A and B are shown apart, each in its own frame.
Chain A
Amino acid sequence: MDLLQLLISGLANGCVYGLIGLGFVLIYKATESVNFAQGDMMMLGAFITLGLTNQSYVGLPFWLAVILAIVIMGILGYLLEVVFIRPMFGQSQIAVVILTIAIGFVARFVAGLIWGHEPQSLENPFVGKDVGFGGLVLGLDEVVIIGTTLALTGGLYLFFAYTRIGLAMQAASQNQLAAYYMGIPVKRIHSLVWALAGALAAIAGVLFASKGAIDPSTGLLGIKAFAAAIIGGFGSLPGALLGGLVVGLIEPLSSRYVAAGVSQIMPYLMLLLVLILRPHGLLSQVKAKKV
């Protein structure tokens, strides 16, 4: 039972990594550059929710705060693309990557200014509650995290497979030139992808904050999620989730069965291993183009 609880808690952590990883992969697939501010966007999403709902700040109802934070982060993602990323079109990938790193710094700085650098907890309806599943006692927060991630995954799948905009996002990421030729407004699609990544970051942030305290440097977790996404296969959305789950599980298991400190480096050891054995990640999506 103890081990099972450990696994569930690892899985819940993994879900958060996976959701941040989804944001990385979404933007990467659409624009072929990596948004290193993805983790910081998650942190901002968490702090916006905290600022809106905690009694010491605005004190709105929790769910209202969550919805507002998702909307605000969606708009922020959209604007980041329009104001900073789009003008860089045609520049080298490295320039874009450095720009996103800078955006991350600014996000941490601004969060520090508004909410301070002390760790704070998000007041939420799940904290400290348990649910029992036939003898197995799980934290409600963990159940909520896993459930939300499952629902989001299903929702995203339906979105990409069946909606006109979702299909257009796929199309633009598979063949940008052809998307132009078909009259798909590729630039607007890119902005929408950033908006989606922002909204996802907000959800990941709320889930993360429902488990523990956050501070402005929480977003550095994004690096681990990035590694996890590469482990899973950076070009693939299911891969990003899988990578997150693998890392989430590996951490508690390695600190239990190997040594306490090892869990810190395990994700990166795994990363090296995967890169050597399966350079495109566990679920790679590489197919050659004909003629």
Chain B
Amino acid sequence: MGEPLLKIDNLESYYGPIMAIRGVSLEVNEGQIVTVLGANGAGKTTLMKTICGVMDPEKGTVKLNGQEIQGQDPDFSVRHGIVQVPEGREIFPLMSVEDNLRMGAFTRKDRSNIAADIEMVYGYFPILKERAQQDAGTLSGGQQQMLAIGRGLMAKPKIMLLDEPSLGLSPLLTKEIFAIVKRLNKEQKVTMLVVEQNAKIALDTAHYGYVMELGRIVMGGPAEKLRESKDIQEFYLGQRSEGERAQRRWKNRKTWR
């Protein structure tokens, strides 16, 4: 295997004096779906912001195809193939669905292909086609998530960063969204880095996973390995093996530090 598409080394980011990510390293190979699991406040969103350039890291490197891109403005990262589908959708509420999609293609030079790609997005999310001329702010939460993903696709990314796509969605819709993520990965060859709290669906979809805690990566491995791990089962999948004492948790927890 060659160089990973995205390689992050020892990344540190701060909010003022608060260190939100503390030396994160991870890799995403081309064609993969990689997930980062972690509780609230673990620093997942901060990691995503630092990768795409909305935040500048204090230390460490972000390499895309071997080229260092940390500290660049987001328009640079988007032009070079990293696009973020942000936490909470962040659509443009007073613009039509179609104009939202157009804004996703803002950095593209091949303007003539944009109309075809809008149709491609509608192919994955037919409901967006129905609502094409409606203000995006009037869409339901789930439809807004579809729009956010579609808008990201319009940038023709090599890698898409999805920050908690399941946030606020019903279990059924979450499944649908992840099924589409999987299809996009296969059919459109978009590499995916997905941040999630819903570990089950994330690990069922991803090839590889990392666990983040308090700004650090504490565990990483192929998705099927993580699914089998007791820690993950207890803390993220909500299962507890019968007959075990509660304190077992604390013992096991140590294994990931």
Contact = CB atoms under 8 A, between A and B. Distances in A.
Answer whether A and B are interacting partners. yes
B71 interface: no
A121 B89 CA distance: 54
B117 to A, nearest CB: 14
A279 B212 CA distance: 46
Contact of A180 (B54, B88, B89, B93): B54
Contacts, number: 84
Contacts of B167: 291
B167 to A, nearest CB: 8
B118 interface: no
A171 interface: yes
A170 B94 CA distance: 9
Contacts of A168: 103, 106
Contact of A291 (B52, B75, B88, B135): B88
Interface string A8-51: 00000000000000000000000000000000000000000000
A181 B90 contact: yes
Interface string A180-214: 11111100000000000000000000000000000
Contact of B94 (A164, A180, A182, A285): A285
Interface in A237-291: 285, 287-291
B102 interface: yes
Interface residues of A, number: 22
A181 B141 contact: no
B255 to A, nearest CB: 36
A232 to B, nearest CB: 17
A43 B106 CA distance: 36
Interface stretch (B78-86, B174-182, B224-232, B238-246): B78-86
A174 interface: yes
Contacts of B74: 180-181, 183
A287 B93 contact: yes
A177 B95 contact: no
Contacts of A177: 54, 86, 90
A290 B140 contact: yes
B144 interface: yes
Contacts of B94: 170, 174, 285, 287
A175 interface: yes
A185 B73 contact: yes
A168 B104 CA distance: 10
Contacts of B90: 175, 177-178, 181
A136 interface: no
Contacts of B89: 291
Contacts of A164: 102, 106
B4 interface: no
Contacts of B99: 167, 170
Contacts of B137: 287-290
Contacts of B168: 291
A175 B92 contact: yes
B75 A183 contact: yes
Contacts of B73: 185
Contact of B95 (A167, A185, A291): A167
Interface residues of B, number: 35
A160 B86 CA distance: 25
Nearest to A162: B99
B23 to A, nearest CB: 25
Contacts of B103: 167-168, 171, 179, 182, 184
Contacts of B91: 175, 178
A179 B89 CA distance: 12
Contact of A290 (B52, B78, B102, B144): B144
A182 B155 contact: yes
B70 interface: no
A174 B103 CA distance: 12
Interface in B89-114: 89-95, 99, 102-104, 106-107
B235 to A, nearest CB: 26
B99 to A, nearest CB: 6
Given A177-B86, A182-B104, A182-B155, A290 B141 contact: yes
A41 to B, nearest CB: 27
A181 B106 contact: no
Contacts of A287: 93-94, 135, 137
Given A171-B103, A180-B74, A287-B135, 17 more contacts: A164-B102, A167-B103, A170-B95, A171-B92, A171-B95, A175-B90, A178-B86, A178-B90, A181-B90, A182-B104, A182-B155, A183-B77, A285-B94, A290-B140, A291-B89, A291-B167, A291-B168
Interface of B: 52, 54, 73-75, 77-79, 83-84, 86, 88-95, 99, 102-104, 106-107, 135, 137, 139-141, 144, 151, 155, 167-168
A-B complex: 3 closest residue pairs judged by Cβ atoms: A183-B78, A178-B90, A183-B107
13 contacts: A170-B99, A175-B90, A178-B91, A179-B92, A180-B74, A181-B86, A182-B106, A183-B107, A184-B106, A285-B94, A290-B139, A290-B144, A291-B141
